[in-house]
Homo-oligomer: A and B are copies of this chain.
């Protein structure tokens, strides 16, 4: 049995420095929980010169040679909190093949090429843990990976991006438009200077791929995920949702399809205010899971931030450390199901369509005819006149997304349709 668990830390930014701090502050508890002390043997950083005297470690632990640190014989576990595809992939594959366990929060790498990491872990007989990669501090992947293994998950619906949830919550609370709410989020530090990855849904799509892979025991990559961001969501959409007793959230939705495949998508959607996900405000994250036997479950908490993410990393470290001392490996990834990922056009969903139309005889009949011609059934219609114009709000029953999209495209061509004011999917 090893006398300590020797850890190499790659990255020392917001998350890395919290990991260092927690390793120091909770050293006694960690020792008791793992069964041996944790020893931080090196920290790889990009720039050598930076002042890190506030961290409770000796200055000679820092190095700019991450690969050299990973290769050291005295490293048992590698914690990576740098992010990005390369050079992180090279480091982690090197570590795993050499039998060193890896803990990472690198969602981009996992969603782009998780297979390479899982294969390297199997090859080296090492553990690969990544609780921090989705929904920060929320213990979510472990339950999906382990606790619900005896059940059959049918759908996972998540609010997994704090920036967009902050923006949409602000729009809902104040009636602000997207740009105004984004400005507020930026000023308060909830949005980055370049918010593209968040507001265009790239971050959520990576997390959706990871969640879908775990939930359905198959491999889903970020490129398989249909993605729409929130930049087109308007104050009018939010008001329209409110009028229906709904709120708008950026959801990632991974579900089983009727023919045994899966669909994975990220887009804004209207959900009823009575749904547990509707109450998830500010920058919080939550993931709603539906399983055949368990029924509805929800996991809620902070999705980002140095300390919450570091908490997830340390939870993984306790598991990995115990496994090493016991000389065992955790349950590896199971991708046995190998399911087909369906394109968005085949996914069944519902649409909320707002039209500005000329207020004259026959308009409603024509509009209804367009829906019918695409085999889309209408659930509710609300018409309100405004002089020569009328506003028509139509909510459909469930239909393939391609049929709904074709319906909207055809509506846009009609001369008496002045504008398609908004199109939003409706969930739950």
Q: Name A's B-contacting residues (CB within 8 A).
A: 18, 22, 26, 29-30, 32-33, 131, 137-139, 142-143, 146-152, 217, 276, 279, 291-302, 305, 307-308, 310-319, 322, 326, 328-329, 331, 334, 336-337
Assess whether A316 is in contact with B142, with CB atoms less than 8 Å apart. no
Which residues from B are CB-within-8-Å of A148?
139, 311, 315
Q: Is the CB of B294 within 8 A of A302?
A: yes
- Copy number in this complex? 2
A191 to B120, CA, bound (A): 53
Q: Are B137 and A30 in contact (CB under 8 A)?
A: no
**CB-CB nearest in chain B for A319:** B146
Tell me, rounded to whole Å, the shortest Cβ–Cβ distance linking A57 to chain B.
18
| Cα of A29 to Cα of B131 in the assembled complex, Å | 24
Contact A147 B151 (CB under 8 A): no
Question: How far in angstroms is the closest Cβ of chain B from A29?
Answer: 7
Most buried by B among A294, A307, A311: A294
Q: Which of B32, B151, B295, B301 contacts A334 (CB 8 A)?
A: B32
The residue on B at minimum CB distance from A316 is: B150
**Shortest distance from the beta carbon of A300 to any chain B beta carbon, whole Å:** 4
* Residues of B with C-beta under 8 A to A300: 276, 296-300
Is the Cβ of A307 less than 8 Å from the Cβ of B293? yes
Rounded to whole angstroms, the CA-CA distance of A137 and B150 in the bound complex is: 11
B residues in contact with A316, CB < 8 Å: 150
Question: Smallest CB-CB separation from A18: which chain B residue?
Answer: B293
Report A125 CB to chain B, min CB distance, Å: 12
Q: What would be 12 A-B contacts, judged by CB atoms less than 8 Å apart? A: A22-B150, A26-B151, A29-B152, A33-B149, A137-B294, A142-B146, A149-B314, A150-B314, A294-B308, A296-B302, A298-B298, A298-B299
Residue numbers in B under 8 Å from A137 (CB-CB): 151, 291, 293-295, 297
**A279–B279 alpha-carbon span in the complex (Å):** 8
List the B side residues contacting A312 at CB < 8 Å: 147, 150, 294
Q: Which among A293, A301, A316 has the highest number of chain B CB atoms within 10 Å?
A: A293
State whether B314 touches A293 (Cβ < 8 A): yes
Q: Are B138 and A318 in contact (CB under 8 A)?
A: no
User: In the complex, what distance in Å separates the CA atom of A315 from the CA atom of B316?
Assistant: 19
Q: Which of B217, B279, B296 contacts A301 (CB 8 A)?
A: B296
For residue A151, give the distance in angstroms from its CB to the closest CB of chain B: 4
The 8 closest A-B pairs by CB, nearest first: A150-B314, A139-B147, A139-B143, A137-B294, A293-B311, A149-B318, A297-B301, A294-B311
Residue of B nearest to A307 (CB): B293
Task: Determine if A315 and B33 form an interchain contact, defined as CB atoms under 8 angstroms apart.
Answer: no
Question: Which residues of chain B are near A297, meaning CB under 8 Å?
Answer: 137-139, 299-302
Nearest chain B CB to A142 CB, angstrom units: 5
Report the minimum CB–CB distance from A112 to chain B (whole Å): 25
* In the bound complex, CA of A293 to CA of B132 (Å): 13
B residues near A26, Cβ cutoff 8 Å: 150-152
Closest B residue to A306 using CB positions: B293
* A-B contacts besides A147-B312, A148-B315, A151-B315, 16 pairs, CB < 8 Å: A22-B293, A32-B217, A33-B149, A137-B293, A137-B297, A139-B146, A139-B147, A139-B297, A146-B315, A150-B318, A293-B308, A293-B310, A294-B308, A297-B302, A300-B300, A328-B328
Taking a contact as CB atoms closer than 8 A, the residue among B152, B279, B331 that contacts A276 in the complex is: B279
A246 to B343, CA, bound (A): 46
Q: CA–CA, A30 to B149, complex, Å? A: 8
With A139-B143, A299-B299, A322-B331 given, is the CB distance from A151 to B293 under 8 Å? no
Which residue on chain B has the smallest CB distance to residue A299? B299
